[in-house]
Amino acid sequence: MNRRVVYVGLAAAAIVILLVIAVGVFRHATETSLRPGGISRDQAIRMASHEGMAQSTTPTEVRWANAGPLSQFGRDPYSSPNRLVWAITFTGSFGWASCGPYNPNGPTRCPLPARHATVILDYFSGAFVTGSLY
């Protein structure tokens, strides 16, 4: 086998290993930089699943659940962007609260259900902060 091919393969493997290590270190650093006293990930998921906007007509699945500053996940006009929150995204089939304004010319057509719901909760209390469907 050609030496050059072997060296390129080894270099590619080394890069992949370094990337995996970097992602692990970054993830650990972001998890450990949170202040103590917040609710757990499991508590956040359980609380978020009971929010009205997270009610799906099909079984839901947690896509991800991360803690950090609000600015990392969304905005809320009544909260500081530095507020610590849990952001939990579910997949499923989520109906919209309204099909839009009344249409005097015929029936109102409702949009297709959203496939993702993100619920943002206060990191310490678990209180609802904001959320979105998409």
Q: What is the predicted pLDDT for the residue at 34? A: 82
Interior/surface letters 34-43, b for 16+ CB within 10 angstroms, e for the rest: eeeebbeeee
State the total domains in the chain: 2
Mean pLDDT of all residues in the chain?
84
Q: Which range of residues forms the domain containing residue 27? A: 1-33
Tell me if residue 94 falls in helix, strand or coil. strand
Residues 22 and 40 in one domain: no
> Tens of pLDDT along 88-110?
999 999 998 888 888 888 888 88
Return the percentage of the chain with pLDDT > 70, whole number.
76
Return the percentage of the chain with pLDDT > 90, whole number.
58
> Tens of pLDDT along 24-62?
444 444 455 788 999 999 999 999 999 988 889 999 999
Q: What is the predicted pLDDT for the residue at 30? A: 47
Residues 72 and 117 in one domain: yes
Q: What is the predicted pLDDT for the residue at 115? A: 96
CATH number of residue 68's parent domain: 3.10.450
Q: What is the predicted pLDDT for the residue at 25? A: 44
Q: If you write DSSP's letter for every residue of 32-58 in order, what string do you get?
A: HTSPTTPPPHHHHHHHHHTSGGG--SS
| Radius of gyration, CA atoms only, the chain | 21
Q: What is the predicted pLDDT for the residue at 80? A: 96
Residues 41 and 101 in one domain: yes
**Contacts by 71-74, CB closer than 8 A, 24 or more apart:** 73/118, 73/120, 74/118, 74/120, 74/130, 74/132
Residues 117 and 97 in one domain: yes
Residues 43 and 19 in one domain: no
Residues 18 and 50 in one domain: no
Residue 79 · residue 129 · CB < 8 Å: yes
Residues 14 and 67 in one domain: no
- Look up tokens 């005097």; give the residue: 104
Residues 62 and 96 in one domain: yes
Read off the pTM: 0.70
